[in-house]
Amino acid sequence: MTASQMSLGLFIRPAGFSVAAWRHPGSQPDANVNFGHFVDLARTAERGCFDMLFSADGLSAETVGGRSSMHRMSHVVWIEPATLLAALAAVTTHIGLVCTASTTYEEPYSIARRFASLDLVSGGRAGWNLVTTANPAAARNYSLDAHPPKADRYRRAREFVDVVVGLWDSWDDDAFVRDQASGVFFDPAKMHALGHAGEHFRVEGPLNVARSPQGRPVVVQAGASEAGRQLAAETAEVVFCATPTIEEARAFYADVKRRMPAAGREPDELKIMPGIFVTVGRTEEEAHQKRALLQDLIHPAVGLGLLSKHVGLDLTELDPDGPFPELPQGHDKIHLYRAQVVSDLAKREGLNLGRLAILFADGRGHFEVCGTPAQVVDAMEAWFTTGAADGFNILPPVLPASLDDFVDLVVPELQRRGLFRERYEEATLRGHLGLSVPKRGVRPIPRPGPAGQAEQPG
């Protein structure tokens, strides 16, 4: 991937990104239990030369809207993504494999071991999307009465990343000599126990998984809040964000990149890849017909329930013909960013609450584009060339139909303009993204030491 070419990720939800995808004739309704469906998706994305598959995750069943709508949601169950991606590693050869794991409800050693193993079995194609888990319902599945406060979750996450990266550096690249004649399996001088003792974790190490061809799995992060942006600037190598307009995207991009030098990092060490919800047709009319069909399949109760969850307000009893309500003073900061985005959209487009809920249920606050291949690529190119994105996470409305459309119609137009690769030239996810192989022992940012002195990486 050259600097003049964008990166592409495929965001996979079982039947598609739209909440109504499972009802669409171009979907696989049983996708959440159908492994063969995911094999087909991975191979199609690989045919399109995508950098990576990106599988989100959650630690509770999706019960949006309660009794009025939860039984209409296909997102209620899915295959645990690390297991899924490990299986997909065996049936793919190039595409990166990224999934979510929580720093709030997991332990660093387990995460380090899981993703290092995925990295090895895939030949250096793994990435970890670190999240602090925003859904309070997860607490009740992990023996807690309440979800930890956001500040606590991010402080734990910052230390968590240090421990995971340190564990990934347990072994030098050439530590395992495997000399059968002498009986020496590894060079003990090239094994590094972590010996971490911090606020949240005490982890001795070393990790019992060797170093991979790309050195470490790629670290991905998806937070948009102040704490999330700072964590991304300090630790992430890819950021997945929701920015519905090019102006918001440029502001987010500039803000995160400007924080990086203070963290001892160069801006090109991080790829910012907003989500993009694409509906493409051979003609503009065909594209809009596809969009309208899908929106007609969204049940109003599902739309209002989903919007309520994401903005932290109960909208289900409000008049759908009325306006989106004003945000209350002191609105929950967990939801404030997304709520403000939605409020601004409603005012900008003059949308009543019911119509806003349907539109939100489609793209859920992400950049949306509907049109011909040329129109889709015009929009992507504008973002890519004006400081709004280094690439995109594609959010196919319906799977497999929308992915087939994107690979067959949009990718060739991107390639014709020289904006995207025509073939894989690298073997690892880092290679696809143009990220260097990290030197063992170099942390994302030195941690504070005694008397405010920075500890040297080791």
Give the C-alpha separation, 277 to 372, whole Å.
14
| 98 and 65 Cβ atoms separated by less than 8 Å | no
For the purposes of burial, counting CB atoms within 10 Å of the CB of 20, is it exposed (0-12), middle (13-18) or buried (19 or more)?
buried
Q: Which residue has the higher pLDDT, 235 or 316?
A: 235
Asked whether residue 402 carries a pLDDT value surpassing 90, the answer given is yes
pLDDT for 2 equals 62
pLDDT tens digit sequence for 262-314: 999 999 999 999 999 999 999 999 999 999 999 889 888 888 887 887 777 88
Cα distances from 286 to residues 143, 267, 278, 378, in angstroms, run 50, 40, 13, 18
Contact status, residue 229 vs residue 259, Cβ threshold 8 Å: yes
Read off the pLDDT of each residue in 170-182 and give the average, rounded to a whole number.
Answer: 96
pLDDT of amino acid 214: 95
Average pLDDT over residues 364-379: 94
- Does the structure show a pLDDT above 70 at 446? no
Span of 86-100, 185-199, 316-330 with lowest mean pLDDT = 316-330
Q: Report the share of the chain in percent with pLDDT over 70.
A: 90
pLDDT tens column, 149-169:
888 999 999 999 999 999 999
Per the CB < 8 A criterion, the answer to whether 242 and 275 are in contact is yes
Q: How far is the first Cα of the chain from the last one, in angstroms, to the nearest whole number? A: 31
CB neighbours of residue 262 within 10 Å: 11
Domains, the chain:
7-171+207-297+365-443 (3.20.20.30)
What integer pLDDT is reported at residue 440 of this predicted model? 76
Residue 391 reports pLDDT greater than 60: yes
The per-residue pLDDT for 239 is 97
Residue 37 pLDDT > 60, yes or no?
yes
Tokens of 261: 């030098």
pLDDT at position 74 over 50: yes
Q: Which residues contact 299 (CB under 8 A, 6 or more apart)?
A: 20, 69, 72
Q: Are 287 and 281 in contact (CB under 8 A)?
A: yes
Question: What is residue 316's predicted lDDT score, i.e. its pLDDT?
Answer: 81
| Burial classification of residue 349, based on how many CB atoms lie within 10 Å of its CB (0-12 exposed, 13-18 middle, 19 or more buried) | exposed
pLDDT band at 452 (very low <50, low <70, confident <90, very high): very low
**Residue pointed to by tokens 């859904």:** 135
Q: Is the pTM of this model over 0.75?
A: yes
Judge whether residue 42 has pLDDT over 90.
yes
Residue 425: pLDDT above 80? yes
**Separation CA 17–CA 402 (nearest Å):** 10
CB 244 within 8 A of CB 341: yes
pLDDT attached to residue 76: 75
> What residues have CB less than 8 Å from 358, skipping those under 6 apart?
295, 298, 300, 303
pLDDT at 331: 57
pLDDT exceeds 60 at position 458: no
Contact 128, 161 (CB under 8 A): no
Give me the residues paired with residue 371 across strands. 280
pLDDT at 73 over 90: no
Residue 358: pLDDT over 60: yes
Q: At 453, is the pLDDT very low, low, confident or very high (cuts 50, 70, 90)?
A: very low
Residue 183 has pLDDT above 80, yes or no: yes
The per-residue pLDDT for range 412-421, each reduced to its tens digit, is 999 999 999 9
- Spatial neighbors of 454 by CB under 8 A, at least 6 apart, are 446, 447, 448
pLDDT surpasses 50 at 450: no
454: confidence class by pLDDT, cuts 50, 70, 90: very low
pLDDT of residue 448: 41
Over residues 32-60, the mean pLDDT reads 94
| Residue 199 pLDDT exceeds 80 | yes
Q: Higher model confidence: residue 68 or residue 394?
A: 394
Q: 152: left (phi > 0), else alpha (psi -120 to 50), else beta?
A: alpha
The pLDDT-based confidence of 332 (bands split at 50, 70, 90) is low
Could you give the C-alpha distances from 171 to 15, 190, 193, in angstroms and in order? 40, 6, 9
> Above 80 in pLDDT, residue 243?
yes
With helix as H, strand as E and coil as C, how does the chain read? CCCCCCEEEEECCCCCCCCCHHHCCCECCCHHHCHHHHHHHHHHHHHCCCCEEEECCCCCCCCCCHHHCHHHCHHHCCCCHHHHHHHHHCCCCCCEEEEEEECCCCCHHHHHHHHHHHHHHCCCCEEEEEECCCCHHHHHHCCCCCCCCHHHHHHHHHHHHHHHHHHHCCECCCCCCCECCCCECCCHHHECCCCEECCCCEECCCCCCCCECCECCEEEECCCCHHHHHHHHHHCCEEEECCCCHHHHHHHHHHHHHHCHHHCCCHHHCEEEEEEEEEECCCHHHHHHHHHHHHHCCCHHHHHHHHHHHHCCCCCCCCCCCCCCCCCCCCCHHHHHHHHHHHHHHHHHCCCHHHHHHHHHHHCCCEEEEECHHHHHHHHHHHHHCCCCCEEEECCCCCEHHHHHHHHHHHHHHHHCCCCCCCCCCCCHHHHHCCCCCCCCCCCCCCECHHHCECCCC
CA atoms within 13 A on the CB side of 15: 22
Q: Are strands 202-203 and 196-197 parallel, antiparallel or unpaired?
A: antiparallel
Q: d(Cα 393, Cα 338) in Å, to the nearest integer?
A: 18
pLDDT at 339 over 90: no
Looking at residue 198, what is its pLDDT? 96
105 or 72, higher pLDDT: 105
Q: Which pLDDT value is given to residue 386?
A: 97
Let me know how long the chain is. Answer: 458
